[in-house]
Amino acid sequence: MRKPKIVILGAGYGGLMTATRLQKAVGANEAEITLVNKNEYHYETTWLHEASAGTLHHDRVRYDISKVIDRNKVEFIQGTAVEIKTEEKKVLLEKGELEYDYLVVALGGESETFGIKGLKEYAYSISNINSARQIREHIEYQFATYNTEKEKDDTRLTIVVGGAGFTGIEFLGELGNRIPELCKEYDVDFEKVKIICVEAAPMVLPGFDPELVEYAVAHLEKKGVQFRIGTAIKEGTPEGIIVAKGENDVEEIKAGTVIWAAGIRGNAIIEKSGFEAMRGRVKVEADLRAPGHDNVFIVGDSSLMINEEINRPYPPTAQIAMQQGEVVARNLAALIHNKSELESFTYDNKGTVCSLGEHDAIGVAFGKKMVGTKASFMKKMIDNRALYMIGGASLVAKKGKFNVL
């Protein structure tokens, strides 16, 4: 009897959770499971702001996929998916192709620049291991270059962060700790460095409790961050950015480093493959299948689910991706076992903590607001939990965060 072929695209939070749960839920003879990922490692997307700032080495932010999958049940292929041919039940890779009976699309998101001119060319985005270490090295190079020039160009030391959402704020928190170190390393006067956060929305961290936001802003300002709220980036240039507050209030901010952390969209492959999507995200069914596709599940940043309470989409987070992965694993097992009833996904919000640097954070967990070291401790527990859910205690021991005050 021919075993059904399950192909999982992507080994981020959603894909790897699907694979590791599925390998426990089905026998080796029941299905042929293939996991495809661009790199041979998984990385913690939610820790990339640390690797980008240089406060945590990028090797601490990734681990080999082979460490967490059961090779008897899951075949791993290092490759890049290019297009999904749903009618032919095939995935085209950069090299070769794969047939499937069931497909899980867990390819993550991409930076969304909303068509703002020059951002793709001149701004960095905190997207993956490669871009994180490039950002780290770029900033270090700017600092290293400063003193070599006869005419000192202080704008080399200006870092603009576009976006005061989760990623932007967490990155600013790390920069707050990192800049004094960089000043020491490269003999640069701290007073010369500028960190500017530009946010088009009228507020920082929309959706967060205002009291917590106030705490975050005050603490980041104390570390030297300047906020430009209600200010839109109009253009990225080789010298920095052009912003506008009102219609006529246009200004150039020269900066040696521009990080764009304000937008995310689904993977480009989604639209290329003909799925109906909004900014590359597919509004999935309750059982996480793509509408009209009985054998295609979509999880993580490329999926879209509406939070009925506020009638707005859930933000794409690691937490929701992992919970989706668990449900997809169970639903795939049900399909393999010929059960017709599939489970509906319901999001269990375990809380959200936004880090503000190594020993500071704000957040809500167990229904309680918290700030400072308490919130920071909670953040580390959340980070460790993600490791535990996918790789168990041994992965936590290897990659966990224990640098608690």
Q: Which residues bind its own copies (CB under 8 A)?
A: 129-131, 133-134, 136-138, 140-141, 143-145, 147-148, 185-187
- Min. distance of Cβ 316 from its own copies in angstroms? 22
When the beta carbons of 130 and 226 are compared against its own copies, the nearer one is 130
When the beta carbons of 73 and 156 are compared against its own copies, the nearer one is 156
When the beta carbons of 53 and 217 are compared against its own copies, the nearer one is 53
Task: Give me the residues paired with residue 41 across strands.
Answer: 64
Whole-angstrom distance, CA of residue 234 vs CA of residue 114: 10
- Min. distance of Cβ 53 from its own copies in angstroms? 14
Check 32, 44, 110, 170 and give the catalytic one. Answer: 170
Torsion of CA 163, 169, 173, 175, to 10 degrees: -20
Whole-angstrom distance, CA of residue 395 vs CA of residue 224: 36
When the beta carbons of 152 and 223 are compared against its own copies, the nearer one is 152
Residue 378 CB neighbours (<10 A): 20
- Min. distance of Cβ 300 from its own copies in angstroms? 22
| Strand bridging mode 81-85 / 90-93 | antiparallel
Asked if 170 is an active-site residue, the reply is: yes
When the beta carbons of 159 and 304 are compared against its own copies, the nearer one is 159
- Min. distance of Cβ 96 from its own copies in angstroms? 19
- Min. distance of Cβ 144 from its own copies in angstroms? 4
- Min. distance of Cβ 138 from its own copies in angstroms? 6
Whole-angstrom distance, CA of residue 240 vs CA of residue 242: 7
C-alpha to C-alpha distances, 3 to 6, 30, 103, 222, nearest whole angstrom = 9, 6, 14, 60
Q: Is 218 exposed, middle or buried (0-12, 13-18, 19+ CB in 10 A)?
A: exposed
Residue 343 CB neighbours (<10 A): 15
When the beta carbons of 129 and 197 are compared against its own copies, the nearer one is 129
The angle formed by the CA atoms of residues 200, 202 and 203, to the nearest 5 degrees, is: 105
- Min. distance of Cβ 118 from its own copies in angstroms? 18
Task: Phi first, then psi: give them for residue 65, nearest 5 degrees.
Answer: -60, -35
Q: Which tokens in the block code for residue 229? A: 């709220």
The angle formed by the CA atoms of residues 72, 77 and 78, to the nearest 5 degrees, is: 140
- Min. distance of Cβ 149 from its own copies in angstroms? 9
Q: List active site positions.
A: 170
